[in-house]
Amino acid sequence: MRLTSLLLTLLLSLPAFAQADRLVDEHSYADPSRVRISHLELDLAVDFDQRQLAGTATLDLQWADPDARELVLDTRDLAISRVEGRSGKRKWRELEFALADADERFGNKLSIGLPRQYAQVRIHYATSPEASGLQWLAPGMTAGGKTPFMFSQSQAIHARSWVPLQDTPSVRFTYTARIRTPADVMALMSADNDPAAERDGDYRFNMPQAIPSYLMAIAAGDLVFKPISGRAGVWAEPQTVDRAVKEFEDTEKMIEVTESLYGPYRWERYDLLILPPSFPFGGMENPRLSFITPTVIAGDKSLVSLIAHELAHSWSGNLVTNATWKDMWLNEGFTSYVENRIVEALYGKERADMEFVNSRNGLLEEMKLVPAPQQVLMLPAREGSDPEEALGAVAYDKGAWFLQFLEQRFGREAFDPFLRAWFDQHAFQSATSEQFLAFLEAELMATVPGKVTREEVMAWLTEPGIPEYAPRIESPRLAAVDQARADWLGDRKAARELATAAWTTQEWVYFLEGLPPTLEAERMVELDQAFRFTGTANGELAQRWYPLSERSQYFEARPAMSLFLRKIGRRKLIMPTYEALAATDDGLAFATQIFAMARPGYHPITTASVEALLAKARAALEAAPQ
């Protein structure tokens, strides 16, 4: 069909992201437009001695292209011994396959040739001991010290390191699994975990709701269950479970609040798995079983917004998923917004506002270091890019700020039903920013006209920075922290004279982040003597205090800093301290020493991050004039 000159002009005037097909995932070798997985059946054995999962993955296929005779899958460092195909209950036929050379970021392309369009393909394989999506912990690295532990982290593209599949969020599938472990080990998955399951080393799972690959999860270790409510509870090592149940006892209330706002919880159970401290993230929203870092068990519920965040993903992300990582804000921006609404409903607007202000300030600081093209919500296609580059504050906090802007303009009486309709009408689907924009224009901007212009919306989605008309929430309690900090810095009050007795974690975070980049030694001593920051068990404070200590040459903090970096593997908490250490010759040497000791207990994702940081720092120091 020939384009008219007007239509051609309009197409050429569109930005690059609009011209590209945003359903195409440049981070996957698969081509779901020709064939896609509809169901996965796993049969795997867990070998702690070999640090390996081994067995089969059977894929049910839906063919869209009648001429297609090839199935392309994503893998990373998998040892594949045989591939078979069949239709119905016929005999399995061995198939030819080719495993391409490894790409550093995307792994190995697996191409399977088929003489006809089989309904099923079965792959016999084993994982590598260094699989990027699995961590294997020796007994000494667990809370109990007697039983080994294994867990997965599939987001963004690490599922391919333990299952051969179409590793893209645009493909959703159901799955079943049989997992065999040593008899004293309990296995769990992001599926129908039975709280009353017998620990016998042979476990079966069913996930009837279709999910994308990054939400596949597995864990095995000395795990016990305790309930919070009829549909929520905690899995953890026996030494941790009681503290976790107490800390997260509001989980059922969180579910009820979110249901009242955005519709029913559609995943049956919502349980929490408390992992060892080496878990590289705060939480991972695996359906039915959120993986949670123990670093948020603070004893005062001051960090339970993380539970609200992972729960919120049951609507935003798990239920309605970004089709590709270019639109990560559809997952994380929506979830951060919903998280804040849950916190407000349960703990009050004052706390919700403090948390929003802290997030907003963190975003503004991060954006000073982020190139302008990466400050947009609708990221352009970037061949060869690491999808985890999209996992920053822009997707989370700029995305949430944009939704808060819409809420403010339209009012909650209009915006809440709109957001619920988005979840309802796109449930168990993968979506793009363009779909959201069309839905916004049709369902809200057209029905409540004159509140927001398309130009304002596009500025949020496609332009760097934060629009000048963004809502600016202020917090009286944080304003009081500003005054206290100013009084101390201005020598009007000593640190011990500040009225901090009622401060929460949110206020302490704000206080620390507002301090100068460096302080004199005597000022650091004064702060530490008054507030005992060195050695704090609160990771949110530690991740701010130790970098300040290093920049200020307060070396008295180094022993506790070393213990912190060796005990905790959560990237958000430890990377700022490694960055501060890597800025000087002496600090880099100290960081290298700590990393050598900590590395056996770090997840591969954390290890890769620290290695890259230290290597870059060494190269910069070597290149500097002597």
What pLDDT, in 10s, does the model give residues 2-48?
Answer: 232 322 233 233 333 343 477 889 999 999 999 999 999 999 999 99
7/60: higher pLDDT: 60
- Asked if the model's pLDDT at residue 625 lies above 80, the reply is no
Mean per-residue pLDDT, 360-369 = 93
Q: Give the pLDDT band (50/70/90) at residue 556.
A: very high
Per-residue model confidence as pLDDT tens digits over 64-97: 999 999 999 999 999 999 999 999 989 999 999 9
Mean per-residue pLDDT, 144-149 = 91
Q: Which pairing describes strands 224-227 and 232-236: parallel, antiparallel, or unpaired?
A: antiparallel
What is the C-alpha separation between 379 and 386, in angstroms, rounded? 13
Is 128 annotated as belonging to a binding site?
no
Q: CB-based contacts of 104: which residues, under 8 Å, 6+ apart?
A: none
Mean per-residue pLDDT, 338-361 = 96
**SS3 assignment for 322-381:** ECCHHHCHHHHHHHHHHHHHHHHHHHCHHHHHHHHHHHHHHHHHHHCCCCHHHHCCCCCC
Mean of per-residue pLDDT scores for the chain? 93
- Asked if the model's pLDDT at residue 100 lies above 50, the reply is yes
Per-residue model confidence as pLDDT tens digits over 196-219: 999 999 999 999 999 999 999 999
Percent of the chain with pLDDT over 70: 96
Are residues 217 and 272 in contact, defined by beta-carbon separation less than 8 angstroms?
no
Is 313 annotated as belonging to a binding site?
yes
- Asked if the model's pLDDT at residue 325 lies above 80, the reply is yes
What is the C-alpha separation between 554 and 547, in angstroms, rounded? 10
What is the C-alpha separation between 133 and 151, in angstroms, rounded? 8
Q: Give the pLDDT band (50/70/90) at residue 277.
A: confident
Is 264 annotated as belonging to a binding site?
no
Is 124 annotated as belonging to a binding site?
no
Residues found in the chain: 626
What is the C-alpha separation between 84 and 423, in angstroms, rounded? 39
Q: Give the pLDDT band (50/70/90) at residue 463.
A: very high
> How high is the pLDDT of residue 280?
81
Mean per-residue pLDDT, 443-459 = 96
- pTM for the model: 0.91
- Asked if the model's pLDDT at residue 166 lies above 70, the reply is yes
- Asked if the model's pLDDT at residue 177 lies above 50, the reply is yes
> How high is the pLDDT of residue 2?
29
Q: Give the pLDDT band (50/70/90) at residue 1.
A: very low
- Asked if the model's pLDDT at residue 106 lies above 80, the reply is yes
Is 417 annotated as belonging to a binding site?
no
Long-range CB contact pairs, 586-594, < 8 A, 24+: 587/550, 588/614, 588/617, 588/618, 588/621, 590/558, 590/562, 594/562, 594/565, 594/566
What is the C-alpha separation between 357 and 593, in angstroms, rounded? 36
Q: CB-based contacts of 187: which residues, under 8 Å, 6+ apart?
A: 46, 179, 181, 203, 218, 219, 220
Going across the sheet that includes 202-212, the strands are: 93-94, 79-86, 120-126, 52-63, 35-47, 172-180, 202-212
What is the C-alpha separation between 478 and 471, in angstroms, rounded? 17
Q: Give the pLDDT band (50/70/90) at residue 626.
A: low
> How high is the pLDDT of residue 227?
98
**Residue 107: strand pairing partners:** 103
> How high is the pLDDT of residue 605?
85
**Residue 73: strand pairing partners:** 110
Could you give the domains of the chain? Answer: 24-131+149-213 (2.60.40.1730), 223-314 (3.30.2010.30), 321-383+390-462 (1.10.390.10), 515-623 (1.25.40.320)
Chain centroid to Cα 472, Å, comes to 26
Per-position DSSP letters for 429-442, written without gaps between them: EEE-HHHHHHHHII
> How high is the pLDDT of residue 551?
97
Is 155 annotated as belonging to a binding site?
yes
> How high is the pLDDT of residue 545?
98
> How high is the pLDDT of residue 4?
29
Q: Which residues of 508-544 are buried (b: 16+ CB within 10 A; e: fewer)?
A: bbbbbeebeeebeeebbebbbeebebbebebbbbbbb
> How high is the pLDDT of residue 142?
86
Kindly list the catalytic residues.
310, 396
CA angle, 282 then 287 then 291, to 5°: 25
Q: Which of 376, 420, 380, 379 is nearest to 398 (CA)?
A: 376
Are residues 37 and 182 in contact, defined by beta-carbon separation less than 8 angstroms?
no
> How high is the pLDDT of residue 107?
96
CA angle, 309 then 465 then 363, to 5°: 35
Q: What three-state secondary structure class fits 515?
A: coil
Alpha-carbon torsion angle 554, 557, 559, 560, nearest 10: -160
Cis amide leading into 126 (omega within 30):
no
Is 154 annotated as belonging to a binding site?
yes
First to last CA, the chain: 65
